Amino acid sequence: MPKLLVTGSSGLIGSEVALYFHQVGWAIDGIDNNQRAVFFGPQGDTRWNQHRLAAAIPGFVHHELDIRDRAKVLELVKAVRPDAIVHTAAQPSHDRAAAIPFDDFDTNAVGTLNLLEAVRRACPEAPFVHMSTNKVYGDAPNLLALAELPTRWDYADPAYAHGIAETFTIDQSKHSLFGASKVAADVMVQEYGRYFNLPTCCLRGGCLTGPNHSGVELHGFLSYLVKCNLEDREYKVFGYKGKQVRDNIHSLDVARFMHAFVEAPRSGEVYNLGGGKANSCSILEAFKLTEKFSGKAQIYTYLDQNRAGDHICYYSDLRKMRAHYPKWDITKSLETTIGEIVAAWRKRLVTD
């Protein structure tokens, strides 16, 4: 049985990836130290998800390890010798990073280097999939000409009709400290591909979401928005008239792409992994969709000040992914995804 090592296995993407690879016949080792609860407080606690994996995956091995601990990472990868690595452990919030710059950089950049070097020494043939982010583009997408539509912003230039492609500049823009630490990791993952010829790829995620997200105000907007709706809590909209656009991809479709890459890896590749235009929505549109499933009106306040470096309009151009992996495509529409998030929060809020 091939063996997958997933970092951040108790998180949204890590847990989905663990379950997906288990279902297609892989043995799973996970690394997670519940750092999300340290970053975001008890609301970000992911232990429930760790227990869910232990119950759902026979033989699942959980490693309570901090990826910043270089010696232990080297030791663990040598002992496990995985056939593939999916690296999702991270400090994932751009707003949070400014308050904890050392923790952010040490986790996102140094933690990634620890893993890459451990893999190069122990199992250089193993595909290494890195979860990067569209924040590597900084706020450069905000410089594009935009059209204001009744409920959303959109690109005015037809050159961006399909969204932002991987060739977009990552340089000379404001990233947030989080974006900058993720750029360091992204370039290092590419370098281990190009310089050492390791089968690596960076997936520059748009909004990754799904029913198992522990959404908090600072990270996981759709999950958090749905939670606010169900609990009659006020959601704060930060600037851009609430028309800011994000593309949303269900974590299952993320896992499916990772599997496609692991089966036919390339070296030093970069993909923009999001929901694309079809799965994009503005905050105002997300309210409407959520209300449709929950039957409750969304309570919100509007604050003029946008979040520093926040994208006004971002959706991923999926054409490179589809060209390299023609059997992969989005299978979960935005509506289906929101419906699943509503159902999942209903269940979790009752049992919490």
Residue 202 · residue 170 · CB < 8 Å: no
Q: Helix 47-56 vs helix 12-23: angle between axes, to the nearest 10 degrees? A: 0
User: CB neighbours of 276 closer than 8 A, spacing ≥ 6?
Assistant: 162, 163, 247, 315, 316, 317, 318, 330
- Site for ligand NAD (CB under 6 A): which residue of 4, 5, 11, 105? 11
Is 282 a residue that touches ligand NAD (CB under 6 A)? no
Q: What is the DSSP string of 74-85?
A: HHHHHHH--SEE
CA-to-CA dists, residue 254 to 84, 213, 273, 350, angstroms: 16, 14, 7, 28
Binding string to ligand NAD for residues 111 to 150, with x set by CB under 6 A, is what?
Answer: x-------------------x-x-----------------
Dihedral sign, CA of 43, 46, 49, 55?
Answer: negative
Q: Which two tokens stand for residue 271?
A: 């993909």
Comparing CB distances to ligand NAD, the nearer of 176 and 229 is 176
Binding string to ligand NAD for residues 165 to 194, with x set by CB under 6 A, is what?
Answer: ------------------------------
Comparing CB distances to ligand NAD, the nearer of 22 and 36 is 36
* Backbone φ and ψ of 63, nearest 5°: -110, 115
- Site for ligand NAD (CB under 6 A): which residue of 53, 67, 183, 189? 67
Q: Across the strands, what pairs with 134?
A: none
Q: How would you class 25 by CB atoms within 10 Å of its CB: exposed for 0-12, middle for 13-18, buried for 19 or more?
A: exposed
- Site for ligand NAD (CB under 6 A): which residue of 62, 68, 259, 332? 68
Tell the smallest beta-carbon distance from residue 23 to ligand NAD (Å). Answer: 18
Distance CA 128, CA 111 (A): 14
Tell the smallest beta-carbon distance from residue 39 to ligand NAD (Å). Answer: 7
Q: Which two tokens stand for residue 74?
A: 């080297």
Question: Which residue stretch of 10-18, 21-29, 320-328, 330-338 sits at the interface with ligand NAD (rule: CB under 6 A)?
Answer: 10-18
Residue 114 · residue 73 · CB < 8 Å: yes
Is 8 a residue that touches ligand NAD (CB under 6 A)? yes
Comparing CB distances to ligand NAD, the nearer of 140 and 297 is 140
Comparing CB distances to ligand NAD, the nearer of 115 and 230 is 115
Is 92 a residue that touches ligand NAD (CB under 6 A)? yes
Residue 41, helix vs strand vs coil: coil
Distance CA 76, CA 284 (A): 46
CA neighbor of 45 nearest in space, from 34, 60, 54, 56 = 34
Tell the smallest beta-carbon distance from residue 283 to ligand NAD (Å). Answer: 14
Comparing CB distances to ligand NAD, the nearer of 138 and 205 is 205
Residue 30, helix vs strand vs coil: strand
Binding string to ligand NAD for residues 199 to 228, with x set by CB under 6 A, is what?
Answer: ------x-xx-----------x--------
- Site for ligand NAD (CB under 6 A): which residue of 30, 46, 200, 270? 46
Tell the smallest beta-carbon distance from residue 208 to ligand NAD (Å). Answer: 4
Tell the smallest beta-carbon distance from residue 10 to ligand NAD (Å). Answer: 4
Comparing CB distances to ligand NAD, the nearer of 22 and 62 is 62
Residues near ligand NAD, by CB under 6 A: 8, 10-14, 31-36, 46, 66-68, 88-90, 92, 107, 111, 131, 133, 205, 207-208, 220
